[in-house]
Each structure stands twice: as structure tokens, then as C-alpha cells.
Amino acid sequence: MLVMVAAFIAVATGACGSGSSIESAPSATPAVVEPPATATPAPDLGPVTFVDPVFQPDGNRLATGSGLGTGFIQQITTKDINLGDVPTWVTGTSTPDGDVWVVALADGTVYGYQIPIGGQPSPFDIPGDRLAPGQPPVLAVQGNSVRLATTPANASPNSVPVYLTGNRAAYVDNLQRLTVLEPDGTLWRPELEVLPDTRVVQISPEKVLVLAQPTDRYPQSALGDNLEATTVVVVTVGVNEVEVVYESGDDVIESIAPLLADVDGDGIDDVVLTVSNDSEIWFEVASSTGGGVMAISDPVDRLLGWRHLVAVGPLSPTGQTEIVEVLYPDTQGSVRFLSLNGSKLGITATRTGYRSHEFGARNLEQAVAADVDRDSYVEVILPTLDRQHIAGVRHGPDGAVDMWSRPLGGTLASNIAVLTRPDGTMSVAAATVEGSLRIWQ
């Protein structure tokens, strides 16, 4: 996931390269007067790219690219790193000198590692402040420079800033307010109460989307607290406009972030939501421009568990757009593929035996869609029921099938992270409760 923006001075400060050259001073020659030295301009490293554990800024966990860099995931030897403590988040990026993986531990400690393609991991210094416990690491990347983006002091630990046009950042502060930080340090806040742990989703360089107007009318607590949003709001930061594009009525939006994707193929992104009440839970597809609800799925029993909305993309056997979810992801979860038929979202394939979420956790990134087995078809990558393996599940011509399964060397603790290199190859990483990071390169 790479979001290319201009260097964000107010939020991500300074850049540290991987090394510097030292030149010896020349011998003094007072008889010769040299002309003034001309300063060599610093090389243009290009714009700063911001990377965080959510694969896309639009909330869609769909990776681009195809295949790993060194072979098939079923065959390659993993790179294993002992972290010495329990990890919470993993973020990866590609640089000219190799992949860089950054791991945040439960106490906020951050470790970095660099791995050239086909090489071995080595420690990599990550400049930046220590994170708050549980806070996802956001990386500011420019050439070979990788550092932590500096999170504003008043940001919620659950907030991941989104970087916008005009060198602005949008985030949720610790008083449940959407906040836009301007380059000169001034703050702008709309009159809006947002879900405290909502993820800010980016629609365009000027627009963000957030879940707002929280309520505790249904204390279900699947995602860490009893609060759920009731509206979806689009905020245009340049002109400071606020528009409600969806309202749940007597129901609630049971998630911390919507997912933006073009479900109906009209070229305009739609908003995909998990909606529930005290007895049922279902999906709705709403217009991102305020046109109302376009499609709805059949409900299932809410008392049996939650529905983990994972991704939207070319997931069908013929490459048509489908939605993939994990039904009841905290127990005996089922991977289910859904397609749009008029105003209905219908089930097209199902595979049982996966667990992509821990009850009460805000980590919704333990599943991602990507073609890492180099067969030109996108599969869903997620933990098996025992959470000791990650597996690839594809919607094939004969239904949902297990494509591969690889051991984690322990029990999954972090998100499943995927990076895509400029050549289109990928790498996958995940960390375990036992304190190790395993990488498929």
C-alpha cells in the first residue's frame, strides 16, 4: 500500500538516509587561490510515500501485483526474526536497497529490518518517536529513507493519519473529533462527533470518509467497546464541507471503517458497510455521493457472531468483481464470496475453517486479498482455524478451494502484511504470540 503525496513537513519531519560518506580534508596550499566551491545539489529522492498496516487508504484489503520475489509461496524458505516480545503490528515497504519491515511491540517499541531480495535480514534504524502501546506504525518513505511519521500529540492511539493535498493530515483526536492539521500548524475541525476508533478512509486527495454519530444502543463489543456508528460522513478538507452520505436509522454500523470500492462497475467507488441490530447482521452497499443504499445482503443471526468484511475485487473464477467476507471470524469462520445481482448481494462460494479476528480486537487486518502464488488469480490470505498457519482460499470454477497453507511457527498475533515492489512482486509477513516475525519473500 503506497500513497504518494508531497513531503508532509508538519507531520513527518526530517529524513535519515541509510549512511553517509566522509571525505578527508585536502592539504593546505596557500600559494594557490582556488575558486569558491560550488555546492552540489542534494539528489531528488522524489515525493514522500506514507505506508501503514491497512493495505489501501480506501480501506480495501486488496493487494496489487502477482507472485513473490523468489518463488512460489508453497516452496520458498522463510526468513525468521526473533523479536523477543509480543508484537502487535507489522508494516512493510520496498526501497531501492531492499524490503524494509517495521514491527511494533505491545509496549510501543519499534524494530526495523531490511532484507535485500534473496538476502538475509539485518537491523534497520527507524528514526521517529516511540509509539503508544497498540498504535499502528505509519512509515514515511523517500528513496532509501524510512522513518516513523510523527503522529500529532493529540491523536487517538487508534487513529492512523491520512495525508491529503496541500500538505494536510486528517486524523481522529483523543476527544473523538475529526481533525485536519494544516501545514502551518493550525487545526480545523468540523462540527462532528466521530466514532472514537474509526479509521479515516481516503476518497481523494481532498476528501475523507469517517464513521460518525456513535451510539451504545447495542452493546455487542466485538470490536473493543460498546460504541457503534450510525452515519457515514464525507468531509472535503479544502472547502471544509461535511456531507452525510448514509444513515443507519435504528440499526448500527458494526465496524471501525467502511470500505470504498467500485462494486457495480460504474467507475465510481461505493461504500460497503457491515450493519446490524440486536438480532441480525448484514452488508449494505451505499452510494459514496449520497444516492442511498444500492444493494443489501441477506442477514444472518447476530447472536452467533460478527461478519468480517475483507475486500472487494476480481475474486470470481472469471475475474468479475466480488465481495469476500469471513462469517463468524472469531469462532468456526467461513470464507464467503458474494456478488451483486441487481439490488441483492448473493453468496457464490463458501469455505469453512478460518479465524480472521479475535473477539474485542480492533485489528481487522488479519486477512488480505492478493495473488501471492503466481497463478494470476486473487486469493484470500487469512489464518486457519488454529491460527498456526496462513492459507490461501480462492473462488475457483468448482467453488471456494484451499490453494495452499504455510505454517507461521507460532500463533498469529499481528496483522498479515503485504508489500508490493515496483516490479509487481510481493512479500508477506506476519508475527506471532511467541515473539517471532516470519517473512515470505
Of 303, 329, 345, the residue that ends a domain is: 303
Which residues have CB under 8 Å from 302's CB, separation 6+? 220, 276, 277, 278, 279, 280, 281
* Chain position carrying cell 502477482: 66
Kindly give the confidence (pLDDT) of every residue in the chain, 441 residues in length, as a single tens digit, with 9 standing for 90 and above.
433 333 333 333 333 333 333 333 333 333 333 444 444 444 556 788 888 877 688 999 999 999 999 999 989 999 999 999 999 999 999 999 999 999 999 999 999 999 998 899 999 999 987 888 888 898 999 999 999 987 777 888 887 888 888 888 899 998 889 999 988 888 999 989 999 999 999 999 899 999 999 999 998 889 988 999 999 999 998 788 899 999 999 999 999 988 999 999 999 999 999 999 999 999 999 999 888 999 999 999 999 999 999 999 999 999 999 999 999 999 999 999 999 999 999 999 999 999 999 999 999 999 999 999 989 999 999 999 999 999 999 999 999 999 999 999 999 999 999 999 999 999 999 999 999 999 999
Ramachandran area for residue 12 (φ above 0: left; ψ -120 to 50: alpha; else beta): beta
Residues 383/333, Cβ–Cβ less than 8 Å: no
Amino acid identity at 282: W
Residues 6+ apart with CB under 8 A from 261: 58, 60, 62, 269, 270, 272, 311, 312, 313, 321
pLDDT for 42: 45
Per the domain annotation, does 133 fall within a domain? no
pTM for the model? 0.88
What is the DSSP annotation of 185-253? S-EE--S-BBPTTPPPEESSSSEEEEEES-B-SS---TTSSS-BB-EEEEEETTTTEEEEEEE-TTSEE
Please indicate, yes or no, whether residues 317 and 434 belong to a single structural domain of this protein: yes
Structural domain count, the chain: 2
Mark whether 319 and 432 lie in a shared domain.
yes
By residue range, what is the domain housing residue 413? Answer: 63-100+305-441
Q: Do 196 and 317 belong together in one domain?
A: no
**Are 264 and 371 in the same domain?**
no
Contact present, 418 and 55 (Cβ < 8 Å):
yes
Domain's final residue, options 258, 279, 303: 303
What lies within 8 Å, CB to CB, of 375 at 6+ separation is 403
Q: Are residues 374 and 247 in the same domain?
A: no
Do 429 and 375 fall into the same domain?
yes
Of 264, 286, 303, the last residue of a domain is 303
Tell me whether residue 125 is in a domain. Answer: no
- pLDDT at position 17: 34
Residues 199 and 280 placed together within one structural domain of the fold: yes
pLDDT of residue 44: 55
The pLDDT score that the predictor gives to residue 237 is: 87
What are the distances in angstroms from CA 242 to CA 172, 188, 189, 199?
15, 12, 11, 17
Residue 354 sits in the same domain as residue 427? yes
369/290 same-domain check: no
In a domain, 394, yes or no: yes
pLDDT at 43: 53
Q: Give the pLDDT score at 393.
A: 98
Does residue 121 fall inside a structural domain?
Answer: no
Residue 137 lies in a domain: no
Instruction: Provide the pLDDT for residue 62.
Output: 95
The answer to the question of residue 27 being in a domain is no
Same structural domain, 291 and 180: yes
Residue 69 to residue 428: CA distance in whole angstroms: 10
Residue 270 lies in a domain: yes
Same domain as 179, residue 193: yes
Tell me: do 309 and 269 sit in the same domain.
no
